[in-house]
Structure formats: structure tokens, C-alpha cells
Structure 1
């Protein structure tokens, strides 16, 4: 008997963080929030989420911020979504 199971990435969501400055280059409105999830599947049926990650990237200086590095203004912008 063959069983097909494993993990698969879910749909990646992109959202701009408007009104938030990049802490590094001080440019307003250049941060984009990226949220990804990984799912466990059995016979190509998605069963449950096993992990997720959230990062913000500045389109001006290309710096990437992980969720642990978010400033209070970035966290407030995240809550508004």
C-alpha cells in the first residue's frame, strides 16, 4: 500500500504597509508584508497548518525584517491588515 503525505507551501499573501517608514533608509510607504504558511497534506488533501512566517521587505533598500525585528509602528501596521 502506498501512502502519499507530506508538506506543501500555501498561498503567499502580499500586502503593502502604507504609512510606515523603513527603519533603515527612512523611506515612507516602501515596506511590503509577505505572509506564507506550510500545510500538512495526505493524498493531496490539505489537513492542517504546521508553520507560518511573516517578513517585511523594503523596496528601496531591499532590507528584510523578520517578525521578531518589527518596530512598534510596523506591528501597528500589521494589526491594521
Structure 2
């Protein structure tokens, strides 16, 4: 579930950029979408009790370690 949230959050910047914001007639709306685009480009992470930060790099590391342990136990 957390991985899905991280992946969806990464797509927000692409969707905002692809919405045609540069052709909008209202400057305030264009400015708001630019701010949204800038904020969406920040990396997404989850914190657990201010001790553990879970992000995409942590997920990849956990999956690599789990696969290594699986192959070690299988041999």
C-alpha cells in the first residue's frame, strides 16, 4: 500500500505538467499549477514514529535483501 502511494505521488508532477497549464487564460491558475508542480517534484516518504523513513530507496533495499536471503536459504 505504501509503495502504491509513493508511485502515485511520483506521477502527480507528470500529470500536472501534461494538463496544458501554459495555455490557461487566468494567470493566478497558472501560478497555482506551477506551485503544485514544484511541490510535486519533492521526493515522497513516510515516517514511522520519527525513527524510520520509508521511501523508494528503502523499499528497493528491503526487496534486494529479502531476495538475497531467499536465494541463500534455497541453496
> TM-score by structure 1 length?
0.26
Q: Which has the higher strand share?
A: 1
The structure having more radius of gyration, on CA atoms, is 2
Q: Which has the higher contact order (CA 8 A, sep 6+)?
A: 2
> TM-score by structure 2 length?
0.27
Q: Which has the higher helix share?
A: 2
